[in-house]
Amino acid sequence: MSKVLQDLIKQLGIVVFRLADDQTLESVSSYPEWLIHLSKAADSPISVDDTFLSFDQIGHSFPFLSNFLIDAELFWSNEREHDKTDSGVWTEVDALGQEYQLEARALFAENEKILLIENVSQNFEERHLVYQKARDMALLNEKLISELNFRQRKLQSDIERHLSLRNPIDELNRTVESNTSAVLVCLPDGDVELYNKALINIYEIGNDQKIVRASMLDKWIAEAEHNHPEIHRILKSGSYWEGEFETFDADNNQKWIRLSIGPVKNDAGEICHFVCVANDLSDFRKVSDDWGNISDYDFNTHLPNRRQFWKHISQTCESGQKSDEVIALMYVDLDYFKHINDQHGQFAGDFLLGTMASRLSRNIKHGDYIAHLGGDEFVILLRYIKEPEDLVAVGERLLVTVSEPINLDGTPIRVSASIGIATTEISQTDPHSLLRNADLAMYSAKELGRGQVRLYTEELERNPPKRSQREHELLVAIEKQQFVLEFQPQVCMQESRGKRVEALVRWQHPEHGLLSPAEFVGIAEESGSIVPIGDWVLMSACVSGKLLVDSGDSTCVAVNISAKQLSHPEFYNKLTNVLRKSGFPATHLEIEITESSFLSDMDKAIDVLHRVRALGIQVALDDFGSGFSSLNYLKRLPVDYIKIDRSFIHDLPDDNESRAITTSVIHLAHQLNMKVIAEGVENKQQLEFLREHDVDFVQGFYYFKPMPLAKLTSLKSENW
């Protein structure tokens, strides 16, 4: 080889071998220092004089390279002269811990089979630095976008508040006129009430062109629906929507905007205005686009974003169609996220989203795909699913992990989620239908009371579940905490064993006044909102109980627990949490359950009750006799008290059947070491009969009606 070439190879610091025979390489130039240095750790290190190296010798110094030599041999034997194959960058560490990035290449030169090894460390570091800088800038860009979003949301709620307070629209004009966000306020079915200069700027609208609703809001919806098929459903239901999409100005220039649309409702609950706020994100997006993959990820949750999701789902659906494989799409939406965000602030909101993202990711199988669509929405793509029940089981597992407590500004809170699932088996197979249908199923889960999993069916399309006015009001009542408790004393028939009360919930309705449980507990049970209502009742009853204990009036408080609450996977944790937070002693708490708690899974219910009793809490079986009551299974149930249903007491002492049932229940309960409470005692005859037959406690209007806490504390203690 010419001297010039030798010198050049030396200066480049590369190693060039030619294949001498099957298993031997011949060096065509002297070795660079790094190679000698790196090989020192091997049992037969390479020396400057070793012109010939066996594959084995190379393998001892560079195990990675010996693997590549197998590929290289394959390549050389195919004689593809104008091609080359490379190893990709790998890292070696010398005895001093110094890292080297190396890359090997197999190629042909003048019919010779050549192996070239390059030290790319320096290059690598530079590339790494550039990458890091790009990431920093991308982060900065994303931070700017998120600040912009924050301002946009604030402006949106300011305008909505202004309108819902019936303030004159002219006043608004002054505030939004020079705002950098584009603002459009319009009536539900037509005229534009207000818009600002920023809107004109984005769309390059000439002064003579009038903005009408048909040309703006409808245009936006049409443009957004491509990537946000759920937008129609959300707006129709009168909810807030926000998202990013491509839009076109008057000259057909493409732009990228972020739009939020919020309906404002009047007192009758009808939509009276749409408030739209938009920001032009084109410049930000252009910058992100230049960075390629970096802009495919959400910077808060580190999950793929909506943009990446569309790429991925399109590929998945395509390959699924070819292979006839069923693909399932799960739409996960957190419940009451906006509420939490407003209450705890944006940082807490971001933290919550990040935490939920990692909980969800940890609970799906390797190979499943999760993305963060934006806001509080996540989607998961699952493959190789056999049965729809398996999907529901996965969904339910996710609901449990979501509902584990999370610490926001020092307070542990719990959130729930609603999940909708569509599969290519039930739904159409294109990505848009799949997303739209999963969203519809998610929405019906929300309508049915949140915290649930729903599968998409065609039936949902024809008959989307619709909440009654009452159910809607109940959700508001939960958010606004419109419930109050009353307490009804239970009077002890033997020598007093301490005071006892039952806590009974009432709804302080803004229009209809104080509503009794008969008017809403049934609906709440059906829609699932009994769970959050019950959470409130439990906490509130324990806080009141603690007040009584502190005032020296140590009273046992019984709380009604519905079957849905008892079977909730978090019930036990909620109980211990409430006890800890309220400071109410567990031995003073009693839960009243009904036989319906044992209907679906008796063993599970029994197991929970055992654990509850181990805390010191007592258990009463409510409304006994009214349901499917069987005296047979009574001995299996871990309960301390039996409450004989009002209906039997009502007919005492004249009705034979009621007499027989009452006396045998008391007898059996006592044999099983349980105490008996008679409820609904209204007169002296009933009381006399019960006293005669050894009932332990009596609850009823004869003694006391349910009363507010203040009245309870003022009762003279000798009265009960």
Note the residues at the interface with ligand C2E (CB under 6 A).
488, 504-505, 516-518, 521, 530, 534, 537, 560, 562, 622-623, 646, 679-682, 699-701, 706
Contacted by 181, from Ca ion, ligand C2E, none: CB < 5 to 8 Å by type: none
Q: Is 623 in the site for Ca ion (CB under 5 A)?
A: yes
SS3 74: helix
Binding of residue 160 to Ca ion (CB under 5 A):
no
Nearest-angstrom CA–CA distance, 144 and 142: 5
Comparing CB distances to ligand C2E, the nearer of 39 and 560 is: 560
DSSP per residue, 605-645: HHHHHHHHHHTT-EEEEEEETSSS--TTGGGGS--SEEEE-
Which range in 89-97, 422-430, 552-560, 706-714 contacts Ca ion by CB under 5 A? 552-560
Among the residue ranges 266-274, 516-524, 607-615, 620-628, the one whose residues contact Ca ion (CB under 5 A): 620-628
**To the nearest whole angstrom, how small is the minimum distance from the Cβ of residue 405 to Ca ion?**
28
Shortest approach of ligand C2E to residue 641 CB, angstroms?
12
CB of 650 to ligand C2E, least distance (A): 7
Cβ count within 10 A of residue 524: 26
Could you tell me if 196 and 176 are in contact, meaning their C-beta atoms sit under 8 angstroms apart? yes
486: its two tokens: 């009353």
Q: What single-letter DSSP state applies at residue 190?
A: S
Nearer to ligand C2E, 287 or 523 (CB): 523
Q: Which is nearer to Ca ion, 477 or 677 (CB)?
A: 677
CB nearer Ca ion, residue 104 or residue 621: 621
Residue 622 touching Ca ion (CB under 5 A): yes
C-beta separation of 379 from 331 below 8 A: yes
Quote the least distance from Cβ 488 to ligand C2E, whole Å.
6
In the complex, least distance from residue 607 CB atom to ligand C2E, rounded to whole angstroms: 21
Number of chain residues interacting with Ca ion (CB under 5 A)? 4
Helices 684-692, 656-671: axis angle to 10 degrees equals: 40
**How many other CB atoms are there within 10 angstroms of residue 466's CB atom?**
10
CB of 692 to ligand C2E, least distance (A): 19
* For ligand C2E, the closer CB: 460 or 681: 681
Residues paired with residue 246 on neighbouring β-strands, in sequence order: 256
Which of ligand C2E, Ca ion, none interacts with 637 (beta carbon under 5 to 8 A by kind)?
none
Nearer to Ca ion, 455 or 712 (CB): 712
CB of 534 to ligand C2E, least distance (A): 6
Query: Is the CB of 452 or the CB of 618 nearer to Ca ion?
Result: 618
Measured over the CA atoms of residue 652, residue 656, residue 658 and residue 664, the dihedral's sign is positive
Q: Indicate which of Ca ion, ligand C2E, none lies near residue 391 (CB less than 5 to 8 Å, by partner kind).
A: none
Q: Which of ligand C2E, Ca ion, none is residue 44 near (CB under 5 to 8 Å by kind)?
A: none
Token readout for 475 is 């959700």
By C-beta, is 68 or 648 nearer to Ca ion? 648
Contact 259, 225 (CB under 8 A): no
Options 237-245, 589-597, 628-636, 709-717: segment touching Ca ion (CB under 5 A): 589-597
Nearer to ligand C2E, 288 or 529 (CB): 529
Shortest Cβ 577–ligand C2E spacing (Å): 18
**Helix axes 571-582 and 602-614, enclosed angle (nearest 10):** 20
Q: Which does 489 bind (CB under 5 to 8 A by kind): ligand C2E, Ca ion, none?
A: none
Residue whose CB is less far from Ca ion, 57 or 560: 560
Is residue 38 within 8 Å of residue 100, measured between CB atoms? yes
Residue 516 touches which of Ca ion, ligand C2E, none (Cβ within 5-8 Å per kind): ligand C2E
* Shortest distance in whole angstroms from residue 448 CB to ligand C2E: 18
- What does the block give as tokens for 567? 């079977």
Can you tell me the distance from the alpha carbon of 438 to that of 459, in angstroms, rounded to the nearest whole number? 13
DSSP collapsed to 3 states, 191-230: CEEEECHHHHHHHCCCCCCCCCHHHHHHHHHHHHCCCCCC
Q: Smallest distance from the beta carbon of 223 to ligand C2E, in angstroms?
A: 47
3-state helix, strand, coil split of the chain in percent (to 5) is 45, 25, 30
595 binds, among Ca ion, ligand C2E, none (CB under 5 to 8 A by kind): none
Determine the longest span between alpha carbons in the chain, in angstroms. Answer: 124
Tokens of 18: 């030619």
Task: Choose the contact partner of 545 out of ligand C2E, Ca ion, none; CB within 5 to 8 A by kind.
Answer: none
DSSP letter at 463 equals S
Q: Is the dihedral of CA 353, 359, 360, 365 positive or negative?
A: positive
CB of 344 to ligand C2E, least distance (A): 27
280: partner contacted, choices ligand C2E, Ca ion, none (Cβ within 5-8 A by kind): none
Q: Residue 58 belongs to what H/E stretch?
A: helix 55-61
Q: Which does 701 bind (CB under 5 to 8 A by kind): Ca ion, ligand C2E, none?
A: ligand C2E
Nearer to ligand C2E, 242 or 623 (CB): 623
How far apart are CB 623 and ligand C2E at their closest, in Å? 6
Tell me whether residue 192 or residue 505 sits nearer to ligand C2E (CB atom).
505
Q: Which stretch binds Ca ion (CB under 5 A): 252-260, 468-476, 562-570, 615-623?
A: 615-623
Which listed range, 100-108, 289-297, 578-586, 623-631, lies at the site for Ca ion (CB under 5 A)?
623-631
Report the relative pairing of strands 618-624 and 589-593 from DSSP bridges: parallel
Do residues 124 and 88 lie in contact, with contact meaning Cβ atoms separated by under 8 Å?
Answer: no
Tokens of 236: 């129709």
Q: Locate tokens 């960058």: which residue?
A: 89
Name the token pair of 354: 């990040």
- Between 280 and 679, name the residue whose CB sits nearer to ligand C2E: 679
Among ligand C2E, Ca ion, none, partner that 73 touches (CB below 5 to 8 angstroms by kind)? none
CA–CA distance, 704 with 492 (Å, rounded to integer): 13
Task: Choose the one of ligand C2E, Ca ion, none that binds residue 682, judging by a C-beta under 5 to 8 angstroms depending on kind.
Answer: ligand C2E
- For Ca ion, the closer CB: 434 or 557: 557
Strands 417-423 and 453-455: parallel
DSSP 8-state secondary structure symbol assigned to residue 666:
H
Residue 653 preceded by cis peptide, ω within 30: yes
* Shortest Å, Cβ 476 to ligand C2E: 18
Asked if 556 and 588 touch (Cβ cutoff 8 Å), the reply is yes
Asked if 642 and 620 touch (Cβ cutoff 8 Å), the reply is: yes
Measured from the CB atom, the residue of 379 and 676 that comes closer to ligand C2E is 676
Question: What are the tokens at 458?
Answer: 């065609």
Q: Which stretch binds Ca ion (CB under 5 A): 178-186, 366-374, 402-410, 555-563?
A: 555-563
Told to check if 592 binds Ca ion by CB under 5 A, we report: yes
Residues 6+ apart with CB under 8 A from 577: 405, 412
Could you tell me which residues are beta bridge partners of residue 205? none
Instruction: Quote the least distance from Cβ 502 to Ca ion, whole Å.
Output: 6
**Parallel/antiparallel/unpaired status of strands 555-560 and 589-593:** parallel
Give dist(CA 253, CA 286) in Å, integer: 14
- Considering only 560, 618, 658, 699, the residue that binds Ca ion (CB under 5 A) is 560
Site residues for Ca ion per CB under 5 A: 560, 592, 622-623
